[in-house]
Every structure is written in C-alpha cells, then in structure tokens.
Amino acid sequence: MLIGAVADDITGATDLCLMLSRSGLKTRQVIGLPGPHTDLSGADAVVVALKSRTIPAAEAVEMSLQAAQALRDAGAQRLMFKYCSTFDSTDAGNIGPVIEALMDFTGAEQTIACPAFPATGRTVYKGHLFVGDRLLSESPLKDHPLTPMRDSDLVRVLGRQTRLPVGCIDITTIRQGEGALRAALDAARKAGTRIVVTDTLDETDLMVLGAACADMPLITGGSGIGLGLAAALRAQTDPRPAPTRMPAPAGRTAILAGSCSVATRGQIATAQAAGLPSYAIDVNALSEGLQEASEIADWAIAQPADSTPLIYSSAEPGQLAKIQSRLGREASGALVEDTLATVAKRLSDAGFTRMLIAGGETSGAVTAALGVSLLEIGPEIDPGVPWTASLSEPHLALALKSGNFGSEDFFLKAWDLLEPEAEHV
Ligand SMILES: Nc1ncnc2c1ncn2[C@@H]1O[C@H](COP(=O)(O)OP(=O)(O)O)[C@@H](O)[C@H]1O
Ligand SMILES: O=C(O)[C@@H](O)C(=O)COP(=O)(O)O
C-alpha cells in the first residue's frame, strides 16, 4: 500500500479518495477503523475516515493513532493525515495534537502542513490561507457552526495547537522546484522546524510538493497534496482510469443537508426553485419534541416515488446564532445530526438506495446510522465530491458532499452520473 491516510471527517476522506483514484491509484475508503475482515487487498491507497475533527483532542489523538496502526499493519508505506482545506479546527485542536502524535508514531523529524486545494479556490500565500479571493478569516468559514475560522495565518493557528516549532516555506522557494524545496526543508529541519506550512497557489506547486515530500514518513494536508503525492507515486503501480459513471442499485433518491455553508444554502435554493419537494427541519421544534425524525422520514416516503425529496436543517448565520445561544453549539449540532441520521436509516429501510448528504459531520452521522463501513470511489460530480458505492450492506450509492463544495445545481445534476446496475444472470 503506497499511502495510508487518516482523515478527520468523512467528506474529507471521500475528497482525498477522489483525488487519489483520479490519479490512477486503486483506492478504498474505510469508515471508522478497519476490522479484521475489511477487504483492503490490492489497494494502492486506503483512507480511514474518522469523525475526529471536533471531538476532544485526546480522543482525536487516540483514534488517529489506532487508525495509523491499522494502516501500518495493512502494509502502508507512508502515512498521510487529511484535514480540511480550510483548516477547520479550534485553538484546542485537533490538527496540531494529531500531527504531533502521528509524528511520534512514524518517527518523522519533520512534516509539512499543506491544506491548499486550488481547484476549489483554497490557496496558501506567505502562510496565509485564502478561500477564493478572501482571507480565510473574511470568508464564510468565519461563521462555521462548529469551527469558526477567524485567523488566516496558519503558522499562528497551528502554533496555538502544538508545542512543536512551526515554520513556513513560501511560494518563491516552491516555484524554484523540487531541488530548492528539498534544500529549504532540510535547512528548516536543521534549524529545528518540525512542521512546515507550505505555500501553494496552483496544481504545479502541488506536483513540486508531492515530489519533494513523497519520501516523508508522514505528510499532512488537504486533498490537494494527495494529488501531488499520487503523481509522485503513480509509477509504482498500474494506474487505473477514473470512472465517468457509476452503476447504482435500483431504488428511490433523497437529499439530506445538515451543512449551513453558503454553498449548500445556494444549492438548496436552486433545487427548490427547480421544484424538488423540500422539508425544513425546525431545530427549536425538534428540541421541544414538536417535530420528530419519524414524521420527517414519513414525509419523504409520501412524496412521489420518482421525485427527489430534500430535507434540510441548514440555517443562515443569524438564525444559527439564535439556535446555538438557546440550545448550545454542540447540543444543537448533535440534535440535528442524530435526527438526519435517523431519517436516513428510515429511508434506507424504506427502499431509498441513492442518497446525497451535504455536510461532513452530517455525513459521518448518517453513514454511521446506515452501518456503511467500506466505500468504493466512483465518478467526480464536482471537484472534491465523487459518487461512492457502499461495499458493505446495505448496498447504496452515496454522494457525501463537503458543505462548501459543489456548483449551484449540484443537487440536480449529480444523479445524471448514475446508471442502472447490470442484471445478474
Ligand atoms: N439549524 C441548525 N442549528 C444548529 N446546528 C445545525 C443546524 N443545521 C446544521 N447544524 C449542525 O452544523 C454542523 C454542520 O457541520 P457539517 O455537517 O460538517 O457541515 P459542513 O460540511 O458545512 O462543515 C453539524 O453538526 C450540524 O448538525
Ligand atoms: O478539504 C476539504 O475542504 C474537504 O475535504 C473537507 O474536509 C470537508 O469538510 P466539511 O466541509 O466539514 O464537509
């Protein structure tokens, strides 16, 4: 296995898997720790999807170490820690503490922190993270329900999360190519810098980074660096063409959205304007027992069988702030996640086999409730979001969309990439 990756959330894992499989690596996504019977045979890359982004740091460390050990036992030659391209975390962690623990585990003297994902507008310049043409701290991520990002200086952000010395190698060096980057990493290592934030403006930079860092025991970052790594390692395997369509089990379709991002709210509005039946979850009513998962699921089941019901909790920042101040940030988030997870399970039991879930934490909760443990990666719907097929029971087609990703018409167009499964003879 060329790469074993630990991802801190499920949509992040799917995003990385897409990048690796698009580059030709045979890639599997495991949800939670792989068990003794998880079939990882023949995989060039395995990505273990945790739900560790917002849990207490000590638990995230423990879980990540267990995943790293499982990947090492399965033959991973190098490890990667995948976190969000917008560095979603709080001052208490979990990116810094997990990097520290995985550096200890792998014996890495130095690693890079490379969140950039240029295809979706996430770039790093002089150690500052940009989302499109705005600094992270001025982007909608400043209002994220769980991890509001209010500082764009990654050396400073990471410096609050770890005791290890953090530095930056800027774009001027990276643009000088692999040799110059290797020399700069070496000089930084000798000066005691253990974690190096790397500037990245485009995919060419990711290629340089992948080539220079592929022999590190631990690489950390977003899915972008996965692209650079896969390019550097592809020669060691027999590359596979990326799929353009995916056979999906016959059955009904649904969309569940628990992300409050600007992108997801735009996709909901576009889907509603196109006539998709929709149901808005009212978190206050939920908390008072006036709305229940069972009635939400029953509403979806009662919609015409050829329609795609859309269920969403997504709220704009003002509404969200009111809910959170009444019910608490974690408690309201957990209530919504549990509700959407219960709805998904009911829909799956009722014959819904093709589901689109918006939101990373939401997708984690939903896949756990569905009992999905192993995913195969299908075609790319939009950068960072593929269709996936559950390789464990129940047999489902799932699109797990990072809240921030996807075009306005994502909820409408995604289905076009699915095709009926061939009849078994
Ligand atoms: N109306 C709401 N009130 C409170 N919390 C909410 C609401 N809608 C969604 N949430 C919570 O916000 C979080 C969104 O995170 P996530 O699913 O990871 O989305 P994203 O991919 O945009 O980060 C989840 O914990 C979800 O339960
Ligand atoms: O790197 C990214 O931006 C995504 O892969 C990611 O981590 C998604 O997280 P959510 O926005 O919470 O879905």
pLDDT profile of the chain (425 residues), mean per 10: 96 96 93 87 94 95 97 95 96 96 98 97 98 96 90 98 97 98 98 98 98 98 97 91 92 97 97 98 96 97 97 94 94 97 98 97 95 94 96 93 96 96 63
Domain covering 3-236: architecture = 3-Layer(aba) Sandwich (3.40)
The owner of tokens 């709805």 is 343
Q: Which ligand is nearest to the CA of 260?
A: 1
Cβ–ligand 2 distance for 12 under 6 Å, the answer: yes
Atom of ligand 1 nearest to the CA of 281: 1
Report the distance separating Cα 50 and Cα 395, nearest Å. 21
Cβ–ligand 1 distance for 174 under 6 Å, the answer: no
Dump pLDDT digits (tens) for 260-298. 999 999 999 999 999 999 999 999 999 999 999 999 999
Q: Where are the domains of the chain?
A: 3-236, 246-420
Q: Which ligand is nearest to the CA of 47?
A: 2
Q: Separation of 12 CA from ligand 1 center, angstroms? A: 15
Cβ–ligand 2 distance for 139 under 6 Å, the answer: no
Q: How far is CA 364 from the centre of its chain?
A: 10
Residue 45 and residue 240 in contact, taking contact as beta carbons nearer than 8 Å: no
Atom of ligand 2 nearest to the CA of 8: 7
Dump pLDDT digits (tens) for 126-135. 999 999 999 9
Cβ–ligand 1 distance for 365 under 6 Å, the answer: no
Name the residue with the closest Cα to ligand 2, atom 6: 12
Render the burial of 10-31: b for 16+ CB within 10 Å, e for the rest: bbbbbbbbbbbbbbbbbbbbbb
Return the closest-CA partner of residue 117 out of 196, 228, 193, 6: 228
Angle 250-253-254 (CA atoms, 0-180°, nearest 5)?
155
Structure tokens, 402: 């990072």
CATH topology of domain 246-420: Molybdenum Cofactor Biosythetic Enzyme; Chain A (3.40.980)
Report the distance separating Cα 220 and Cα 199, nearest Å. 13
Structure tokens, 342: 């219960």
Residue 64 and residue 99 in contact, taking contact as beta carbons nearer than 8 Å: no
Count, residues in the chain: 425
Cβ–ligand 2 distance for 222 under 6 Å, the answer: yes
Give, for ligand 2, the residue of 22, 88, 130 to mutate: max count of ligand atoms closer than 8 Å to Cβ.
88
Q: Separation of 85 CA from ligand 2 center, angstroms? A: 6
Report the distance separating Cα 48 and Cα 357, nearest Å. 19
Report the distance separating Cα 191 and Cα 209, nearest Å. 20
Amino acid at 412: L
Cβ–ligand 1 distance for 332 under 6 Å, the answer: yes
Amino acid at 285: A
